[in-house]
Amino acid sequence: MTPENINQTKYNEIHQLFFDTAAKFPENIAMIAGGGKGKSYSYAEVESMVKNLASWLLSRNRMEKKEIGIISENRPEWGIAYLAILTAGGTVVPIDANLKTNEISYIVNHAELDLVFCSGKFESILQGIGRELKILSFEKDSANYFYPSNQPAIESARVEKNNTALLIYTSGTTGNPKAVELTHRNILSNLEGIKAALDFNSGRIFLSILPLHHTLEGTCGFLAPITSGCKIVYARSLKSKEIVEDIKNNRITCMCGVPLLYEKMHHSFMKAIDNAPSTRKILFKLFYSVSRVGWSLKKRWGRTLFKSLREKAGLGSIDFFVSGGAALPLQISKFFNLIGFNMIEGYGLTETSPALSFTRLDNVIFGSVGEPLDNVRLKINNPNDQGIGEIIVQGENITPGYRDNPEKTAELIKDGWLYTGDLGKIEKGCLFITGRAKNLIVSAAGKNIYPEEIEEKLMESGKVLEAVVFGRKKKDKQQGEDVCALIVPMLDALKEQYNISVNNPDMKAIHNIIAELVKEVNNQMATYKRITIFDVQLEELEKTSTKKVKRFVYK
């Protein structure tokens, strides 16, 4: 599919695409709660509930104000409410369930919500916001239970492609969040591009882990499978052990995750290998080396060599993992692919619905986020001598802008191109992300330093759980910035190599170990890129609800 023929889609509405899917697969399980142990809903049941609820919204004059909020943990009712709001001609306002009360209050008031769907724990929070709200609870024992019965059947409200389907509030780092408008056209276009890049079919079983308010999960982990006849299993929690159990018990085939999740899974694998008998360790290293050779020959020998390892880990049913939301460390991508998993990396923004590129299974290049979607135009603006410049994009998936914020919209979209703020380059048709423009560190000589590159080097050691690198203005009015790092050590690895106590860690000894590591990393890089100041902490770095490090906290 090319950008020119994307308009050939027959759909104007997201919900109509779902209804057509439900008609094809009425008996298929659409969604199931509690890691596969909770209530399940067939496609026919979901369609009936969606139309029933949409009818109630319309009959009660609830659609005079089109914006309707949803705040809840991941569960089937979230998706039912989402589709019902769209069917009634409304706009979904997904609210991050991890926000503080004052942040929830800001969104409720900015969007002028008078109706919000929620799970039980948010009822009292919403009631205390101070705005007159109609609350519809997902809990059956609540007086505000959301599901009305015996409503007259409806087709759906009339919706145009350019009607706003979603109003998504981005996490604000230095001020109030921006409200991103995404239309039915934006989402439908992105679904077409995603489905052309990834293998979606009605036999797929997805595990939903990432918060549904986030566009990656909302589009790739909910709408893409629910409009393809797939089953969605909602994970019980974000605990690695329960996630693996949910995968094993439900024979999960696909999952979207963020790098932090895969880093923890990788850590679990390595810990199990370290604790294995010496013969097994040797065998693993041998197989891993053979798999690496096979990869260089474009052979996926790891699929066979590590089949028993994947099965023993409870992950034998996985067809592919998708990583997005942040850069996946190179060694993590290599590890999963070399032991036989299909690790797909994606790139995108909330403002692009969100996907812009995905790695294709027949063209995985380590360090790349893959090829642009077929219906997206992507180019590098003003590349330097290394081919690195700002990534700018065009396509039907591009937001019309930020609500009530023309200045920020004008900064985002110029002459029909969306300026991502990310830096990258294109090699052999694949996109490589080199960093975020606003994270760029400038040396005294005016050279560009990409902190993500240095963080990658630190992570490769196996001694670092996570790290953030940032620039800080030099003292005494000197030109340029110092390259600073805050490093969180991996205590289990230090215990294994240096006999560091996990329960009562010797911080002086740890600092000395990390100092040696920083010296090693510095020796691998040009002088102007070297870390000049570093510190160590044991607590994990502060993150957003989508598990991105809050860099601004550490500058």
For 484, the enclosing helix (H) or strand (E) is strand 481-489
The pairing of beta strand 343-348 with beta strand 320-323: parallel
Taking residue 383's Cβ as centre, other Cβ atoms within 10 Å add up to 15
The mean per-residue pLDDT over the stretch 389-411 comes to 97
Q: What mean pLDDT do residues 252-269 have?
A: 92
Name beta bridge partners: 423: 390, 435
Q: DSSP for 308-362, please give it.
A: HHHHHTT-TT-SEEEE-SSPPPHHHHHHHHHTT--EEEEEE-GGGSSEEEE-BTT
Whole-number pLDDT of residue 316:
96
pLDDT recorded at residue 274: 87
Mean per-residue pLDDT, 83-109: 94
Confidence of residue 2 (pLDDT cuts 50, 70, 90): very low
Mean pLDDT of 58-68: 77
How confident is the model at residue 263, as a pLDDT?
87
* Tokens at 201, concatenated: 């079919």
Answer yes or no: is pLDDT of 321 > 90: yes
The confidence score (pLDDT) of residue 146 equals: 83
Mean pLDDT of 272-278: 91
pLDDT digits (tens, 9 = 90+) for 343-389: 999 999 999 999 999 999 989 999 999 999 999 999 999 999 999 99
Residue 62 confidence class, pLDDT cut points 50, 70, 90: low
Domains of the chain: 13-192 (3.40.50.12780), 440-553 (3.30.300.30)
Question: What's the rounded mean pLDDT across residues 477-483?
Answer: 80
Average pLDDT over residues 428-456: 88
The residue type found at 203 is G
- Burial tier of 317 (Cβ tally within 10 Å: 0-12, 13-18, 19+): middle
Instruction: Tell me if 424 sits within 8 A of 391, measured CB to CB.
Output: yes
By mean pLDDT, which of 155-159, 392-396, 443-447, 485-489 is the weakest?
Answer: 155-159
Q: Output the pLDDT for position 63.
A: 66
Are 449 and 442 in contact by the 8 Å Cβ rule? The answer is: yes
Say yes or no to pLDDT of 552 above 90: no
User: Phi and psi at residue 51, in whole multiples of 5°?
Assistant: -70, -35
| 320 dihedral zone (left: phi>0; alpha: psi -120 to 50; beta) | beta
pLDDT of residue 8: 43
In terms of Cα–Cα distance, which of 364, 372, 347, 371 is closest to 436?
A: 347
The DSSP symbol for 363 reads B
Please state the rounded mean pLDDT for residues 126-149.
Answer: 88
Is the bond leading into 372 cis (omega within 30 degrees of zero)? no
User: What pLDDT was estimated at residue 175?
Assistant: 62
How would residue 548 be classed by pLDDT, with cut points 50, 70 and 90?
A: confident
Tell me, what's the pLDDT at 514? 97
> Average pLDDT, whole number, for the chain?
91
- Round to whole Å and give the CA distance between 122 and 137: 9
CA atoms of 478 and 123, how far apart (whole Å): 54
Confidence category of residue 155, pLDDT binned at 50, 70, 90: low
Can you tell me the mean pLDDT for 277-297? 96
Cβ contact 250:214 at 8 Å: no
Distances (CA, A) of 294 to 111, 354, 365: 54, 34, 14
pLDDT in tens, 15-34: 999 999 999 999 999 999 99
Sort strands 376-381 and 29-32 into parallel, antiparallel or unpaired: unpaired
pLDDT at residue 42 in the model: 98
pLDDT over 50 at 1, yes or no:
no
Asked whether the beta carbons of 544 and 171 are under 8 A apart, the reply is yes
Does 158 score more than 80 pLDDT? no
Q: Which residue has the tokens 């077929």?
A: 374
Q: Inform me whether the pLDDT recorded for 6 exceeds 60.
A: no
Whole-number pLDDT of residue 169 = 95
- Which two tokens mark 298? 């474009």
Tell me the mean pLDDT in the region 533-551.
88
Coil, strand or helix at 268: helix
| Helix (H), strand (E), coil (C) string for 198-232 | CCCCCCCEEEECCCCCCHHHHHHHHHHHHCCCCEE
536 pLDDT more than 50: yes
Q: How confident is the model at residue 299 (pLDDT cuts 50, 70, 90)?
A: very high
75 pLDDT more than 60: yes
Instruction: Locate 397 and state its tokens.
Output: 């998936």
Mean pLDDT (whole number) for 464-492: 88
Mean pLDDT, residues 446-466 taken together: 90
> Looking at the predicted structure, is the pLDDT value of residue 7 above 80?
no
Percent of the chain scored above 90 by pLDDT? 75
Q: Which of 134-148, 217-231, 484-498 has the highest mean pLDDT?
A: 217-231
